[in-house]
Amino acid sequence: MPRAAAAALSVLVFSLAAGCDSGDQPATGSAGAERVDAGEPRGEQAAAIAAPALREHLRALQRIADEAGGNRAAGTAGDRASAAYVSARLREAGWRVSRRPFRFPYYRERSSSLTVDGRRLRRGARFRVLAYSDSGRVSGGARRFGTGCARSDFAGLQPGEIAVADRGNCFFRVKAENAARSGAAALLIANDPGEAGVPAATLGRPGARIPVLVVAGDVPLADGTAVALEVDAESERRRTQSVIADTRGGGGGRVVMAGAHLDSVPSGPGINDNGSGVAALLEVAEALGPRPPGRVRLAFWGAEELGLLGSRRYVRGLGSGVRGQVAAYLNFDMVGSPNARPAVYSDGDPGLADLLRSAAGRRLPGASTRGSSDHAPFLETGIPVNGLYTGAGETGPGGKPADPCYHRACDRLRNVDPAVLVEMARAAAEALRRLSAREGR
């Protein structure tokens, strides 16, 4: 789940306290919520989902991350191995599997530094490198210009000088292109003086020919100020994929879909975010089998952490007629948080929310998702959506986060509560079984 989107989720009161540990044994605990009448008779498939099988998937994803430098981020060896693992397990379960490769703009900052007038600035608080900046080591005098939105703004710039432009009026990429064409060795974009800190920002895609940084508005950058900077980053186009699995049987003209994103962030292995959703859907595939009453499609999305790229690409590729054949989409992103109170999406389809509550057999509160995960492209096209979610950085009981290792290196096997994950996986399987039965009539 992307950090900015998760931060926008409504704050929930959670029912279980636990912490982050650097070890690799699963957390233990129980969600402990009030039970409700399940209403519709429950199938046997969901009850067959158990912790050992889910743990097997999580251990496999942890091992993949460990062998690939600590993460499973889109475009990396860990990403490719995760897709191969998921594909193999789905084929073993009898599902028809296809991979949907696509290219995306990849960026990773290894290190950076900025010194102004002899004072080294703190990264994150006083400066940031813009995503897709070029690498380089540069030193020289600063030269202040206007907004940099026109190439003429840099008139008089001497080759090798470090250009300084004010923030605003046009995209950062436009400023960077104009500065590079004018011969600047690097570009510093001064943040608004009245705004605290510096924003995380992007140039939008690879191709910048100079290092580009944004600095706090109160950093003194008068003409001639001595500046030294260094950026070591990768900026290129890479390939990732989504994995799509379809049942081999099932009647009815419409398909029921469910999805979970496959990638992690670069900073960690992503075992709760979102190995938990991946493990849950793999066990759903086993529980439902390849021939449920109606058609079911499972999606393991690529590059969710970079802006829902895989799911957006998939939905864009659906024609209006095919789009109408998708009866519903259920999303499972972070469903094993160690300090969790499971929730449904309050801004999703109310009928699907009721279905998930009934499938779980308990009263699940609502969490406002605001387009934070792969359900968003489906929602935008009018397809009914909902999902299960157990929390990211929101404050839980005792003032602790629902997931204290969210987007961190400690999002390892220990960071997943197996009891919560079993409950969510069983609810997912039961909800999909019921939807499949309805569409298969």
In single-letter form, the type of residue at position 10 comes to: S
What's the confidence (pLDDT) of residue 40?
Answer: 66
pLDDT over 90 at 11, yes or no: no
pLDDT over 70 at 252, yes or no: no
Among 109, 283, 286, 304, the active-site one is 304
Sequence-separated contacts (24+) of 380-384 with Cβ below 8 Å: 380/315, 381/315, 381/318, 381/323, 382/323, 383/323, 383/326, 383/328, 383/329, 384/327, 384/328, 384/329, 384/348, 384/349, 384/351, 384/352
Q: Which fold has domain 106-236?
A: Glucose Oxidase; domain 1 (3.50.30)
Give the residue, 194 or 404, on which the prediction is more confident: 404
What mean pLDDT is reported for the chain? 89
| Sequence spans of domains, the chain | 3-95+247-439, 106-236
Is residue 234 part of the annotated active site? The answer reads no
Give the residue, 270 or 322, on which the prediction is more confident: 270
- Given a contact cutoff of 8 angstroms between Cβ atoms, the answer to whether 109 and 88 are in contact is no
Mean pLDDT of 402-406: 94
Q: What is the tens place of the pLDDT at every residue in 33-71?
A: 344 444 566 678 888 999 999 999 999 999 999 999 999
How large a percentage of the chain has pLDDT more than 90?
73
d(CA 70, CA 273): 14
Q: What is the pTM of this model?
A: 0.79
What's the confidence (pLDDT) of residue 375?
Answer: 97
What's the confidence (pLDDT) of residue 238?
Answer: 94
Tell me how crowded residue 230 is: count the other CB atoms within 10 A of its CB.
Answer: 16
d(CA 396, CA 393): 9
pLDDT over 80 at 368, yes or no: yes
Q: What is the tens place of the pLDDT at every residue in 254-263?
A: 999 999 999 9
pLDDT over 80 at 395, yes or no: no
Pick the closest to residue 424 from 375, 346, 360 (CA basis). Answer: 360
CATH number attached to the domain at 3-95+247-439 = 3.40.630.10
What is the H or E stretch that residue 82 is in? helix 77-92
Distances (CA, A) of 43 to 38, 51, 227, 291: 11, 18, 67, 15
- Given a contact cutoff of 8 angstroms between Cβ atoms, the answer to whether 139 and 227 are in contact is yes
Distances (CA, A) of 377 to 13, 73, 174, 334: 28, 21, 28, 18
Distances (CA, A) of 240 to 2, 102, 104: 17, 6, 7
Mean pLDDT of 398-423: 94
